[in-house]
Structure 1
Amino acid sequence: MWKTTLYILLIPILSVGQNINFEINDLHTAQKKAKKEQKGIFIDIHTNWCKNCEWMQEEVFKTKKVSSYYNNHYINLSVDAESKLGKTLVEKYNLSIYPSYLYLNQDAEALHLATGLKSKEEFIEASKEAEDPNNQLFVLQKLVKNEKEPDIKILSNYIYTTYNAAYEDEIMLSKFLGRLNDDLLKEESIWRALKEATMHNGLHSESLHYIVKHSNVIESEHGIKDIIQTINAAASISMQPYVEEKNIKGWEKLMSYLNTSLGKQGTTLNLAYNPTFYINIQDFETAYNKMSEGVKTLHDRDPEVRAYLYRNWAWDIYHYYDDQEKLSTALEWVDNSLDVHYNSINLETKSGILLKLKSYEKAKMTALEAIELAKKEKVHPTLAYSVLEKLNTTK
């Protein structure tokens, strides 16, 4: 009997250990306890209708690694954004994204802000940033606002931290861009800040224009892949509302703006993202026509850019089309891309196209080659394995 009783008594203890301890619901009590225990204060600000908030509470806060770290380092509060305290915090710190994570010192002064969906590793990293004055959003904000010409490294840290939290500061971003030069662009911390602002602001942003106009310097120091990934993220942000509304006129207006403001480079962005937009609104014929127009236009462009776009379009053809003529054209595109980038993702794309063209033996050999190359590249060739699996079922 005593064993059963002991087991029952242990259940709540074990449960608490597997969750962030949100036992306090007012800031004054949290502040007193934080001072007594020499801990910081963490506030999770959420809403009842926020799916990301629910996911964080169930999938991240309850993991042993996260709960242990936060219970050892913080006094934790869980606050509904629509409660009295929540409304006060939302107004005071100008919050608009949920979940929001506020980090305060023992005097209840805000040090740092993070937002959005995060893995357990990213969530712990956010708390470590909150403990480092070089990364604390509100500490950096005071530093840059109190100086007429703030140190460029402090300013770059502020820009990165601000846009990483989707907090935005257009005035300071403009000041940051105005201070940049070719030498500064070579520094990793400067490029990190510029990337973050661009990925948050989209294709129409001042920071995107800066990247495009200084792409040669950035590419020589940080690589074309980094530029492409940054612009892709910006495109995703810009494209989403037009896709949701199937707003073709609005999208075309944005593309026209890029052409006008960026010239030849704007045209390249049109070529890159027009097919994706039309695929997303399920106008597959127009999407294919945009790809074909792109191939004709790209003949005199940078081989790296051409190879990247050819591979993207070939990948799209594999995923969304069954027409044999289009698949054969896509095979030519990916072969052209392989001439520049002989890598596993190009080989995977080729194996998928060959499978759809019913060139089974070639598809198998290409998939196997992709898998071997992927081992050296330390990536997982999901499509190549899928091709082999489908080939086994066709026999």
Structure 2
Amino acid sequence: MKRKLLTLILSSGILMGANAQNREISFKEADWKTQLATAKKENKIIFFDAYTSWCGPCKMMAKDVFTKDNVADLFNQTFLNVKYDMEKGEGPALKDKYEVSAYPTYLFINGDGEVVHKIVGSMSAPEFIAEAGKALKPETTTFGLAKKFNSGDHSQATSVAYMEALDKAYEADKMGAVAKVYFDALPQASLMEAANWELALKYLNNPAAQSFAYLYANKGELEKKYGADKVNMYFMRTISSSVHSVKRSYEKKTDLKAAAEKAAAIRKLLSTETNYSKPLLAQLDLTEFAAANKWDKFVSKVDAVWGDADFKNKASFVITAANDVVTAAPTQYYKDVLRWADQVEQNNPNLFANIQLADLRKRTLKKQGKMAEAEAMANKAQDLRKEAAQKGQMTPPMMKD
């Protein structure tokens, strides 16, 4: 029935394309428990718009896509549409429950509260309708593809469809795990072929995969075939994002085995120095020291970085490390944070770094209970942000206290 309805709506949308657009997605207001009960009673899938008040792409989707007649007709007749600001009311709890980490996030949820499909980011009306169509067919949902893949169907069709779904769902780590299984099963020589190389560029983001190691070992040949810039950018981007993935896993204490495998693989890959080895290996060291509560070693490593004349972008590196100390280390190490802030400031940082330093000092002073000094630093950061805005310069995101 849902497939027939979808076909009817899509067809009518084509016929009405020349008419004025005067309809929009209608969202039901109620608490989350009531929304689930209604969805179950009406046997409908919930379309869940997870947004924030400051999210520009969220506003663009609401203005330019939700107001298209064919989009409105499909969603109003097919789904139970709900939306929650992730920073207000029930939003924060739902954000944690459904692991929303980017905006806009669109979830398709059944009456039992299970996510059957997920997409992240803005898109055109035709793309949005296509994704909604996938949510109505169990075999094309993220949930359905996961079941097929986890049951042993590692065919190219299923694997690529699943990786694409995870990519659109902003699930990079899960995509990497699937990519490892799929690409590692291919004959290694075939990885150099154009079709598989293009798929690897899109989906193979796991340095612990044997297939990734093979491609890295044959980097010279890849450069000849596909261009040095493209090849080197792929490896640098993949390894860099993996270092940050390891850090997230250790901080959240999730997927620790996979994180350790990635870290070991990265160290092996970067044993032959590249122009990006030093900062990535240093970040891995700090991540592992923090996870093991070895803060003396953490501080010594940061000091070593600061003293290394050849370390690129070390001011940014030290500021990030200092914020990690404020977030997770015992208060006895805050003196090191303030010392690093002084060292960076004396090194003539730019306006962007000065804002970061003011935010860093505010966080540190507040945690030390020095509220008046913290407020002064907060005011300084605000003034610097205004100065940057007047100059049309970018400003750093504000760190949570």
TM bucket normalised to smaller: 0.3 to 0.5
The structure with the larger Rg is: 1
Which structure features the higher share of helix residues?
Answer: 1
Q: What TM-score does the superposition give when structure 2 sets the normalisation length?
A: 0.46
TM-score of the superposed pair, with normalisation by structure 1 = 0.46
